[in-house]
Amino acid sequence: MLSQAAVSFRSRYSSALLAAAAVSGTAYAALNQEGTGVAHADAAKPAATALDPNEFRAFKLKEKKQLTKNTFLYRFELPDNQTSGIFTASCLVTRAMFKAKPEDEKPKAVIRPYTPTSANEARGHLDLVVKVYDQGVMSKHIDSLKVGDTLDMKGPIKKYPYEANAKKHIGMVAGGTGITPMLQVIDAILANPADKTKISLVYASVSESDIILKDKLDALAAAHPGQLSVHYVVDKAAWGGLFWKGSQGRVSKELLAAQLPAASKDSLVMVCGPPGMMVAVSGNKAPDYSQGEVSGILKELGFDATNVYKF
């Protein structure tokens, strides 16, 4: 179950996205550029892609696969063997209509952001990895979908403007489903032989069985030794940690100092996870959902707003 702080955070974020979704065209795009108010031309959808940044479209659920006890991969069909239009780094928003109270005359839109885990160039399908929360209105709705049912999606929404080799070393700190935007960046870097950017990922989960897409991460690390390193952290490992090769406990200053690049103009640390982890590691975003100041462990390690990005 989510903590009260997490529920409050999700509620505020969803309200902001709902307001943004009511705006059309370039104004909508501008509202989603991390609070900058600047519309980006490259957020426009090429003609042959399935998603549209200016309107919600319905996509059929094609397949559902369980990843952990409460996390699932949902594969949606893209028409005419199209690509989604998602690029690195960007996300989409989902929409569903609900009556908040039985006495409500009309349903209201609930909006939630997700980062697809399918490759940007994948044709005919789009994958969302979703953790189903007890109090998660949208996650429970997605989980209730049957094959053939549809979900409204809109995007892409530009996040971090990634450029190959712009940084020599990118550190990543992810918690839970916060791994999804990290995977998008990792996939883009490793798919480009000309991109020599080094990646160091610290991925925190409750337990070993809660690690999402571990097989994929391990395979990528094995295929790209020296470029991608992955270090897992769990609250408490099974069997007293006898067979566990990662860390136990909370993400600490000592751990991040050992695993991440040092603060410099040539390094960047990306952070994404539950509110409590964000506060401890980097600080949450500002109330207007711009990046805000850097605090927590990363500030103690010498990082600032120039070399930290909060998804």
- pLDDT digit string, tens, across residues 202-243: 999 999 999 999 999 999 999 999 999 999 999 999 888 788
Match domain 57-158 to its CATH number in 3.30.565.10, 1.10.287.1770, 1.10.3720.10, 2.40.30.10: 2.40.30.10
CB 204 within 8 A of CB 174: yes
Is position 138 annotated in a ligand binding site? Answer: yes
Q: Where are the domains of the chain?
A: 57-158, 169-310
- Who wins on pLDDT, 229 or 99? 229
The DSSP letter of residue 262 is: P
Write down the pLDDT at residue 103.
78
Is position 102 annotated in a ligand binding site? Answer: no
Taking the alpha carbons of 31, 184, 96, 137 in that order, is the dihedral positive or negative? negative
CA 166 – CA 287 distance, rounded (Å):
29
Give the chain's mean pLDDT: 87
Cα–Cα distance list, 308 to 42, 138, 258, 265, 296 (Å) = 23, 29, 17, 11, 12
Write down the pLDDT at residue 12.
43
Instruction: Return the SS3 of 271.
Output: strand
Return the biggest CA–CA distance within the chain: 59
Is position 131 annotated in a ligand binding site? Answer: yes
CA 289 – CA 244 distance, rounded (Å):
37
Is position 180 annotated in a ligand binding site? Answer: yes
Closest CA to 20 of 107, 105, 91: 91
Write down the pLDDT at residue 47.
53
Closest CA to 290 of 43, 36, 56: 36
CATH number for the domain formed by residue range(s) 169-310: 3.40.50.80
Q: Do domains 57-158 and 169-310 have the same CATH topology?
A: no
